[in-house]
Amino acid sequence: MFRAPRSASIMPPKERQAIDLNTLDAQQLSSIREQLEEEVQSFVRSSVALQKAAGEFGSSGRAIESLSEQKEGQPLLLPLTSSLYVAGTLASTDNVLVDIGTGYYMEKSTEEGIDYCKRKVMYLKEKLDQIGAAIKDKQRVLAEVNGALGRKMQQTQKA
């Protein structure tokens, strides 16, 4: 028995409709298989993006930790982008500007900045776990659909 998703979002199993795969023809099964494959690929892309973001937040947390060990007035290279840096001097090791999204920054103490990055990493890992479970569920359903499609094809060849 296959439970058809209402959308490509992560939904609890109780919000799905049950469909008997044996009542569907080969074309309908192929259509469902294509939809499931697209959803799996979408979840995989989302997972990769979340892993990248978690890595960046982890790296930022480590950078704040190393910044707090530096001396004020020390020369440094400040990253404007991933490949563009400008020369500067360290004004304070007590406060940092944290990018909180969509071009907004918030001044925080170094401890708060480190804590912020750690919380973001933990949040993203929770979302990664949820997406991983959704991928496994979709792959299981995809295997069921492929099995039903294979049986339909064998029935068609015998007839």
Helix (H) or strand (E) holding 56: helix 26-68
Q: Residue 143: its pLDDT value, please?
A: 93
What CATH number does residue 130 fall under? 1.10.287.370
Domain that holds residue 150: 26-158
User: What is d(CA 39, CA 45) in angstroms, rounded to the nearest whole number?
Assistant: 10
Reduced 3-state DSSP string for 11-47: CCHHHCEEECHHHCCHHHHHHHHHHHHHHHHHHHHHH
Residues near 132 by beta carbon (within 8 Å), at least 6 away in sequence = 47
| Tally of structural domains, the chain | 1
User: What is d(CA 132, CA 47) in angstroms, rounded to the nearest whole number?
Assistant: 8
> Would 8 be classed as within a structural domain?
no
pTM for this one?
A: 0.75
Q: Residue 7: its pLDDT value, please?
A: 42
> Would 5 be classed as within a structural domain?
no
Collapsing DSSP states into helix, strand and coil, what is residue 8?
coil
> Would 77 be classed as within a structural domain?
yes
Q: Residue 14: its pLDDT value, please?
A: 54
> Would 91 be classed as within a structural domain?
yes
> Using an 8 Å Cβ cutoff, are 142 and 33 in contact?
yes
> Using an 8 Å Cβ cutoff, are 54 and 125 in contact?
yes
**Which residues of the chain, if any, have pLDDT below 70?**
1-16
> Would 1 be classed as within a structural domain?
no
Sign of the Cα pseudo-torsion (29, 3, 17, 33, in order): negative
> Would 13 be classed as within a structural domain?
no
> Would 86 be classed as within a structural domain?
yes
Q: How many CB atoms lie within 10 A of CB 61?
A: 19
